[in-house]
């Protein structure tokens, strides 16, 4: 009987040929350095994806963080997630994509070299599932790897050397989003592999958002803006406070590379998966929104708590992520675990996030002018979690509980 169940740790090994680092090692290397040691960009990317896709960061769902390759990942689940996008107001909040991750295919191609959906998981095939998702007014995504096999222990067929035929098959199925992983890449140059799939996707004539999941190994932020709409900057996230923090600290210095049509991707959301508190999940969601990250829900929405839905549907915070200016937040200060992040918004406002990394409450202070706003008679502060407003002459000070984030939308007030 073929293997169907694997642990998260197994998947994260990301075994690749010719000495490619395993994901377990990758995640340690990619996340161990403190903020002061985070890599510094050499120069911002100047290009945009020519397809006109992802003018704001993609929002949606991916099953991996909650199911991995378990038997619960199947056609029934995907359809139920699409239903919940409508029933729970997620579509109205901006979530669009319902995406499959690894393990949707059979381990071998058919005699014509075509990919074959797993008939147990997807008895009606992939196109039928895509059609169901599209009928809800949503978009559908799929996964493969820029190698000979995907990342699971079974190793399903990868697209290396099959880019054109696989892209045509995806387009024929109605795929709107491709997550393209990095396993079993045979040592072929990353830019060459990801360019080949970019070209194949374009040749189909179907607009397909292209997510480059290269784990940051070859600094894709320096070359991928003309290829895809997002690129992973680190190894896989896990459902823990330390993992979230480590990825945050790696992704923050890359702000100059993000913008409409080309986004830094610090990996999917863990909100609701149980490894962090609701306070920590609010911080996680706030920080990803401040970084203009793709917001891909990673929890099983069928069992999600009301608190999880409240976090995921916070339209004030989502508006920061989806702001049309497309700026990623920059760091004003991070001394002693007291973080001040600032994000410039369309229309002239600033988002200011005051985040407490430490294990005890801390008082964090900044000012409207330090956040880049002009001198004004006063400023309106809208608390995006409490949904309250207050006024200030310029100082922004708040006592932030341990592991919490307070985020304001700051608007200058006009004089009399």
Angstrom distance (rounded) from CA 274 to CA 283: 14
User: 134 is written with which tokens?
Assistant: 């599209």
* CA pair distance 97, 237, nearest whole angstrom: 20
Whether residue 179 contacts residue 141, with contact meaning beta carbons closer than 8 Å, is answered with yes
Catalytic residue list: 181, 236
* DSSP class of 272: T
> What's the CA angle centered on 133, arms 130 and 136, to 5 degrees?
150
Whether residue 359 contacts residue 406, with contact meaning beta carbons closer than 8 Å, is answered with no
Report the alpha-carbon distance of residue 44 to residue 333 in Å, rounded. Answer: 22
Q: From the centroid of its chain, how far is CA 54?
A: 12
Q: What sign has the CA pseudo-torsion 170, 173, 175, 178?
A: negative
d(CA 299, CA 353) in angstroms, rounded, equals: 25
User: Could you give the C-alpha distances from 98 to 3, 59, 136, 297, 386, in angstroms and in order?
Assistant: 25, 9, 11, 9, 29
Answer whether 237's CB lies under 8 Å from 66's CB: no
Q: To which H or E segment does residue 195 belong?
A: helix 190-204
């Amino acid at each position: 009987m073929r293997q169907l169940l694997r642990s998260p740790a197994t998947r994260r090994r990301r075994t690749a040929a010719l000495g490619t680092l395993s994901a377990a090692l990758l995640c340690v290397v990619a996340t161990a350095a403190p903020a002061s040691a985070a890599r510094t960009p050499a120069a911002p990317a100047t290009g945009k994806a020519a397809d006109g896709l992802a003018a704001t960061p993609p929002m949606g769902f991916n099953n991996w963080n909650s199911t991995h390759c378990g038997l619960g990942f199947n056609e029934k689940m995907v359809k139920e997630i699409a239903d919940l996008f409508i029933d729970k107001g997620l579509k109205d909040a901006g979530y669009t994509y319902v995406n499959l991750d690894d393990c949707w295919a059979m381990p071998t191609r058919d005699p014509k070299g075509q990919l074959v959906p797993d008939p147990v998981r997807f008895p009606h095939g992939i196109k039928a599932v895509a059609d169901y998702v599209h009928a809800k007014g949503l978009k559908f995504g799929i996964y493969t790897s820029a190698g000979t096999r995907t990342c699971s222990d079974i190793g399903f067929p990868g697209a290396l050397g099959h880019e054109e035929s696989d892209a045509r098959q995806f387009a024929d199925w109605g795929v709107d989003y491709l997550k393209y992983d990095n396993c079993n890449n045979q040592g072929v140059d990353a830019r060459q592999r990801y360019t080949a799939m970019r070209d194949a996707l374009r040749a189909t004539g179907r607009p397909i958002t292209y997510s480059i999941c290269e784990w940051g190994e070859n600094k894709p932020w320096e070359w991928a803006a003309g290829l895809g709409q997002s690129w992973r900057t680190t190894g896989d996230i896990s459902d823990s406070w330390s993992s979230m923090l480590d990825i945050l600290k790696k992704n923050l210095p890359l702000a100059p590379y993000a913008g409409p049509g080309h986004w830094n991707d610090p990996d999917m959301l863990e909100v609701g998966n149980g490894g962090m508190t609701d306070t920590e999940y609010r911080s996680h969601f706030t920080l990803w929104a401040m970084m203009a990250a793709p917001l891909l829900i990673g929890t099983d929405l069928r069992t999600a708590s009301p608190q999880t839905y409240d976090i995921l549907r916070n339209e004030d915070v989502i508006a920061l992520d989806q702001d049309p200016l497309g700026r990623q937040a920059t760091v004003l200060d991070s001394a002693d675990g007291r973080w001040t992040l600032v994000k410039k918004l369309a229309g002239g406002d600033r988002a200011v996030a005051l985040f407490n990394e430490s294990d005890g409450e801390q008082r964090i202070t900044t000012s409207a002018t330090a956040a880049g706003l002009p001198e004004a008679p006063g400023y309106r502060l809208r608390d995006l979690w409490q949904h309250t407003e207050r006024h200030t002459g310029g100082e922004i000070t708040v006592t932030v509980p341990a592991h919490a984030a307070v985020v304001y939308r700051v608007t200058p007030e006009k004089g009399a």
